[in-house]
Amino acid sequence: MVSTIKNNSTFKEKTRLWLLDHPNLNPFNFSIKRSYRNLTSGIRTFPDFIIIGAGRAGTTALYSYLIQHPKIIPAYTTNNEDVADLHFFEYMISDNIKWYKSHFPISFSKSQKKHFITGEFTSTYMYHPDVPKRIFNLLPRVKLIVILRNPVDKAYATYQQQFRFGEITTTFEETINAEFRRMNFNTDFPELNSKNDDFENSVAHNIIRHGIYVNYLETWFKIFDTNQILILNSYDLKNSTKETLNQIFNFLNISNYDIPDISPVNVGTYTPINKTTRQKLIDFFKPHNQRLDELLSTTHNWDD
Residue ranges in contact with other proteins by CB under 8 A: 1-2, 4-8, 17, 20-23, 28-29, 78-79, 87, 90-95, 166-170, 174, 177-178, 181-182, 185-186, 191-199, 201-205
What is the nearest approach in angstroms of other proteins to the Cβ of residue 217? 21
142 and 101 in contact (C-beta within 8 Å)? no
Whether 226 contacts 144, CB under 8 Å:
no
Taking the complex as a whole, how short is the minimal distance between the CB of residue 123 and other proteins, in angstroms?
12
**Is the preceding peptide bond at 57 cis, omega within 30 degrees of 0?**
no
Q: What strands, in cross-sheet order, belong to the sheet with 143-148?
A: 72-74, 117-121, 49-53, 143-148, 229-233
Q: Nearest distance from residue 13's CB to other proteins, in Å? A: 9
Q: Which is nearer to other proteins, 194 or 297 (CB)?
A: 194
Q: How far is residue 22's CA from residue 6's CA, in Å, rounded to a whole number?
A: 25
Nearer residue to other proteins within complex by CB, 48 or 85 = 85
- Dist. CA 248–CA 262, nearest whole Å: 15
Closest distance between other proteins and the C-beta of residue 174, in Å? 6
Angstrom distance (rounded) from CA 105 to CA 117: 9
Q: Report the alpha-carbon distance of residue 48 to residue 52 in Å, rounded.
A: 13
CB of 133 to other proteins, least distance (A): 15
What values do phi and psi take at 121, rounded to 5?
A: -140, 140
Nearer of residues 71 and 205 to other proteins, judged by Cβ: 205
Task: Name, in order, each residue with C-beta under 8 angstroms of 288's C-beta and a sequence gap of 6 or more.
Answer: 151, 211, 212, 213, 214, 215
Q: Residue 36 or residue 108: which is nearer to other proteins going by CB?
A: 36
Q: Based on CB atoms, which residue is closest to other proteins, 55 or 249?
A: 55
Please say which residue, 266 or 298, places its beta carbon nearer to other proteins: 266
Closest approach, Cβ 39 to other proteins, in A, equals 18
